Amino acid sequence: MAAALELFVRQGYASTTLEDVAAATPVSRQTIYNHFGDKETLFLSVIDEHLSATLETLREATAHFPSELPDPEVYLNELARRIMATFLHPRTAALRLLLQTEGPRNPQLTQLWRQRVAAPVWSELIGQLARLAHGGALLIDDPARAAGHFVALVNGTVWEMTELGTFAVYHPPELDDPALDAALRSAVGLFVRGYAPGDRPAG
Amino acid sequence: MAAALELFVRQGYASTTLEDVAAATPVSRQTIYNHFGDKETLFLSVIDEHLSATLETLREATAHFPSELPDPEVYLNELARRIMATFLHPRTAALRLLLQTEGPRNPQLTQLWRQRVAAPVWSELIGQLARLAHGGALLIDDPARAAGHFVALVNGTVWEMTELGTFAVYHPPELDDPALDAALRSAVGLFVRGYAPGDRPAG
DNA sequence: AGAATTTTAGACAGGAGCGTCCAAGACTAG
DNA sequence: CTAGTCTTGGACGCTCCTGTCTAAAATTCT
């Protein structure tokens, strides 16, 4: 069934025939109809399955806040690295790309992503930044906005280094590419400097 | 011909019938064949035309560096606002979305965007940041990387405030939405604080 | 007005994909 | 071994779209 996702990502929903996915799987076309009855149902099932898996991966990446207040730069570097690793995970990258390409034609897909994946991860992130700020490690007056900046920087860095986001599916970059690591550290550095206490207030 | 772009964006290339675009234009289906001969050719012509127009819009947005060294925060706020205005321009938004949805199936589209639009704008941005740094207004050791951060912040802000980028096409947000303006100023503020001289070195 | 060019509507063949049906084969269970 | 279930490959009807063709209508040019 990962094969179906792969095909939907590579060719899009409209251009992917059930014969294609049958050829890519050990079952035949009729078996697919027996199980799902419908191309649309198959598609939604594929989305649903990988959505759950992706949520699990993202949860693991973002739910590691230590009990003791960490050094913000060290901790945020680790966090950024875990988020990046999730973004570059083949399944996540494929799912994001698929939601991106089919989302405009299927608004409920975007909504599913937002409700089931983005929202919980988002609030976890906001909570962590709020804790860092509350502990005095960072000067943040609006954790939600700061989370937006953090995600924009991490996401943008990965985006800019992977050919507009499509690269990750076809040529997954090495996680330990030193250029990627340096870019990520630089982005986190900017974030930490910009929210360091002792600066002008973070407006 | 703007109608053709609209349709391709809304329905995607595969699901857009030539009858659809004929119905949306004052000409008939056969006239389209007479002029373009082919659906693929029509598509590429539409892309090409709007690509040129978008480049022009983006050039105007980014080529306004004053002769006298400006205050970085004030200037970058104006620059960010102009870039955002371009991103939210219906034509640009539609084109970006179209390249996003059809790019994975048409790698040359992504390449066209990068070569003809992104590359020149990118180098203009890098040059401006380098000038700000050279004048001592900011402490930037790698203008290209800083440009990446700036674009990531501006782009990410717009992205996060417009429903994952699809919102802009169907419900263009008001340019003078105070929330958008505040978010943009906040992002630029982070950038300027992070690259302010007198801080730790910008690594 | 008259001639030439373009546009139009409709019809048409060709091809492709979805969803269904069916009969033969494989696999499982008792 | 036998009965029942599931899978398979093939064929089929149906719909839709592309690209072509043709004769009539409209437009432009002289």
The answer to whether B110 contacts chain A (CB < 8 Å) is yes
pLDDT at B195: 97
How far, in Å, CA of A176 to CA of A173, rounded? Answer: 8
Residue A188 lies in a domain: yes
Which of A77-86, A96-105, A169-178 shows the lowest mean pLDDT across its residues? A169-178
Say what the pLDDT of residue B181 is: 93
- Lowest model confidence (mean pLDDT) among A5-14, A138-147, A164-173, B136-145: A164-173
In a domain, B201, yes or no: no
**CA–CA separation, B138 and A116 (whole Å):** 41
Instruction: Identify the band that residue A166 occupies on the pLDDT scale cut at 50, 70 and 90.
Output: low
Q: B150 is in which domain, residue-wise? A: 2-194
Interval B77-90: pLDDT, tens: 999 999 999 988 88
Contacts 24+ apart (CB under 8 A), A59-67: A59/A120, A59/A121, A59/A124, A61/A85, A61/A86, A62/A121, A62/A124, A62/A125, A62/A128, A63/A124, A65/A128, A65/A131
- Give me the pLDDT at residue B200, please: 52
Residue A186: closest CA among B73, B195, B186, B192 = B195
Quick check: A173 pLDDT over 70? no
Question: Which protein residues have any CB–strand C distance under 7 A?
Answer: A 16-19, 29-30, 33, 37-40; B 26-31, 34-35
CA neighbor of B105 nearest in space, from B42, B159, B40, B172? B40
pLDDT digits (tens, 9 = 90+) for A84-98: 999 888 889 889 888
Read off the pLDDT band of A177 (50, 70, 90): confident
DSSP symbol at B104? G
- Select from A162, A188, A193 the residue whose CB has the most chain B CBs within 10 Å, as the one to mutate to test that interface: A193
Give Cβ neighbours of residue A26 (< 8 Å, ≥ 6 apart): none
Report whether pLDDT(B16) > 80.
yes
Contact between chains at B104 and A9 (C-beta distance less than 8 A): yes
Contact A15 B14 (CB under 8 A): yes
CA distances from B142 to B127, B139, B154 (A): 11, 9, 19
Q: How many domains does chain B have?
A: 1
CB atoms within 10 A of CB B52: 12
Write the CATH number for A118: 1.10.357.10
Domain assignment present for B203:
no
A201 in a domain, yes or no? no
Instruction: Encode pLDDT of A17-61 as tens digits.
Output: 999 999 999 999 999 999 999 999 999 999 999 999 999 999 999
- Chain centre distance of CA B120: 12
Percent of chain A with pLDDT over 70: 92
Residue A61 forms part of a structural domain:
yes
Dihedral angle over CA of A73, A77, A80, A84, nearest 10? 160
- Position A203 pLDDT exceeds 50: no
- Which residues in chain A are contacts of B193 at CB distance < 8 A? 193-195, 199-200, 202
| Nearby residues of A71 by Cβ (< 8 Å), 6 or more positions away | A137
Which pairs count as long-range contacts for A197-201, CB under 8 Å and 24+ apart, including other chains? Answer: A197/A136, A197/A137, A197/A138, A197/A139, A198/A139, A199/A139, A199/B193, A199/B196, A199/B199, A200/B193, A201/A139, A201/A141
CB atoms closer than 10 angstroms to residue B122: 17
Going by pLDDT thresholds of 50, 70 and 90, the confidence category of residue B168 is very low
String of b and e for B62-96 (b: at least 16 CB within 10 Å)?
A: beeeeeeebebbebbbebbbbbbebbbbeebbbbb
Of A78-92, A162-176, B68-82, B88-102, give the range with the top mean pLDDT. B68-82
The band of A164, judged by pLDDT with boundaries at 50, 70 and 90, is low
Contact B73, B188 (CB under 8 A): yes
What percent of chain B has pLDDT above 90?
67
**pLDDT for A124-159, tens place per residue?**
999 999 999 999 999 999 999 999 999 999 999 998
B121 phi-psi bin (left φ>0, alpha ψ -120 to 50, beta other):
alpha
Q: Is residue B59 part of a domain?
A: yes
Rg (CA), chain B: 20
Q: Is A145 on the interface with B (CB under 8 A)?
A: yes
Tell me: the pLDDT tens digits for B25-76?
A: 999 999 999 999 999 999 999 999 999 999 999 999 999 899 999 999 999 9
Residue A67 inside a domain? The answer is yes
Alpha-carbon gap, residue A202 to B12, rounded angstroms: 42
Nearest by CB to A193, from B103, B186, B193: name it: B193
Report if residue A185 sits inside a domain: yes
Q: For A67-71, A92-96, A124-128, B166-170, which range has the lowest pLDDT when averaged over its residues?
A: B166-170
- Which nucleotide is closest to A19, CA to C1'? C17
